[in-house]
């Protein structure tokens, strides 16, 4: 349901898209920091759909990525999770995410949150004008990536640097190394319970 403030001012809704394979504390810190600085009422995490072409790696099932995102955000009353991208067939385009969310939450003002690496891709999108009309864009720093708004209408924000990536978490699980404190406790347990990331092509495999 759409939510609004009693005084009629728009609900400030952050949108954090990602593969979340798995979700980690870099994602959560970025969302929390943007929420504080931009005075957001809520941040909705939107796990991406399943890519139909076989990419260079197999992405975990959408349902696993969705549930890990739910587990990771459950304790924060301002964090929610949306299924719009995982319920839409095919790969995810930011424009579809924003259109669908806007249709569900017409009264909300959207703030799309993205890391420096993903920002470059989005800025190069051909129908960028429609993107700007649907949401404000907030680019956050990420260790190892330059933050460059290229003069576009994006806000740039330094978040406490967390050199955590999902790629590294997957490699660590495959190698039998701990991911405690890189991802939320419930996500550590979810990964173990479902045996995720044990067999990553190219990863060294468990130490013997
Ligand atoms: P992978 O290594 O599989 O690419 P990832 O760690 O980059 O995973 P994604 O799900 O691809 O995670 O990222 C979703 C969004 O979160 C992107 O906008 C990305 O730039 C941002 N992000 C990811 N990790 C961090 C981090 N440590 N600090 C800030 N932003 C991050
Ligand atoms: Mg990434």
Exposed (0-12), middle (13-18) or buried (19+): which is 85, by Cβ within 10 Å?
A: buried
Please state which of the ranges 26-35, 154-163, 184-193 shows the lowest mean pLDDT: 154-163
Residue 107 sits in a domain of what CATH number? 3.40.50.620
Who contacts 90 (Cβ-Cβ below 8 Å, separation ≥6)?
49, 52
pTM passes above 0.90: yes
Whether 26 and 168 have beta carbons less than 8 Å apart is answered as no
Q: What is the mean pLDDT of residues 58-86?
A: 97
Q: What pLDDT, in 10s, does the model give residues 84-131?
A: 999 999 889 999 999 999 999 999 999 999 998 888 788 787 778 889
Tell me whether residue 85 is in a domain.
yes
Tell me whether residue 176 is in a domain.
no
Q: In this predicted model, which residue has the larger pLDDT, 52 or 43? A: 43
Decide whether any atom of ligand 1 lies within 6 Å of the 51 Cβ. no
Decide whether any atom of ligand 1 lies within 6 Å of the 164 Cβ. yes
Tell me whether residue 119 is in a domain.
yes
Domain count, the chain: 1
Decide whether any atom of ligand 1 lies within 6 Å of the 42 Cβ. no
The chain-wide mean pLDDT, for the chain, equals: 90
Decide whether any atom of ligand 1 lies within 6 Å of the 155 Cβ. no
User: What atom of ligand 1 comes closest to residue 141's alpha carbon?
Assistant: 29
Expressed in angstroms and rounded, the spacing between residue 6 Cα and the centre of ligand 1 is 35
Is the pLDDT at 76 greater than 90? The verdict is yes
Tokens linked to 33: 């920091």
Q: ipTM surpassing 0.85, yes or no?
A: yes
Please tell me the predicted confidence (pLDDT) of residue 152: 64
Tell me whether residue 77 is in a domain.
yes
Q: Is 41 helix (H, G, I), strand (E, B) or coil?
A: coil
Q: Which of 15, 16, 19 to mutate to test the pocket of ligand 1 (most atoms within 8 A of CB)?
A: 19
201 — pLDDT class (breaks 50, 70, 90) = low
Please tell me the predicted confidence (pLDDT) of residue 129: 84
Query: Which residue segment(s) compose the domain that 83 sits in?
Result: 12-164
Please tell me the predicted confidence (pLDDT) of residue 208: 57
Tell me whether residue 114 is in a domain.
yes
Tell me whether residue 184 is in a domain.
no
Query: Please, what is the Cα angle at 32 between 28 and 38, to 5 degrees?
Result: 145
Decide whether any atom of ligand 1 lies within 6 Å of the 19 Cβ. yes
Please tell me the predicted confidence (pLDDT) of residue 142: 83
79 — pLDDT class (breaks 50, 70, 90) = very high
**Greatest CA span in the chain, whole angstroms?**
62
User: What atom of ligand 1 comes closest to residue 163's alpha carbon?
Assistant: 27
Q: What pLDDT, in 10s, does the model give residues 13-22?
A: 999 999 999 9
Please tell me the predicted confidence (pLDDT) of residue 59: 93
Q: Which of 26, 29, 79, 158 to mutate to test the pocket of ligand 1 (most atoms within 8 A of CB)?
A: 26
Tell me whether residue 152 is in a domain.
yes
Tell me whether residue 173 is in a domain.
no
Of 73, 87, 62, 68, nearest to 29 by C-alpha is: 73
Decide whether any atom of ligand 1 lies within 6 Å of the 117 Cβ. yes
């Amino acid at each position: 349901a759409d939510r609004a403030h009693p005084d009629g001012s728009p609900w400030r809704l952050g949108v954090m898209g990602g593969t979340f394979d798995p979700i980690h504390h870099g994602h959560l810190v970025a969302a929390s920091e943007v929420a504080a600085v931009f005075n957001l009422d809520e941040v909705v995490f939107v796990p991406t759909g399943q890519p139909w072409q076989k990419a260079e790696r197999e992405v975990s099932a959408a349902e696993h990525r969705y549930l890990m995102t739910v587990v990771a955000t459950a304790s924060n009353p301002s964090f929610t999770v949306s299924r719009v991208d995982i319920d839409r067939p095919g790969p995810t385009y930011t424009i579809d995410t924003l259109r669908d969310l806007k249709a569900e939450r017409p009264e909300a003002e959207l703030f799309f949150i993205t890391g420096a690496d993903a920002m470059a891709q989005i800025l190069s999108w051909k129908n960028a004008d429609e993107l700007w009309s649907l949401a404000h864009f907030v680019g956050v720093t990420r260790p190892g990536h330059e933050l460059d708004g290229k003069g576009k209408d994006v806000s740039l924000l330094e978040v406490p640097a967390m050199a955590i990536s999902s790629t590294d978490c997957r490699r660590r699980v495959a190698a039998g190394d701990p991911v405690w404190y890189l991802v939320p406790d419930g996500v550590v347990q979810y990964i173990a319970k479902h045996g995720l990331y044990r067999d990553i092509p190219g990863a060294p495999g468990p130490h013997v």
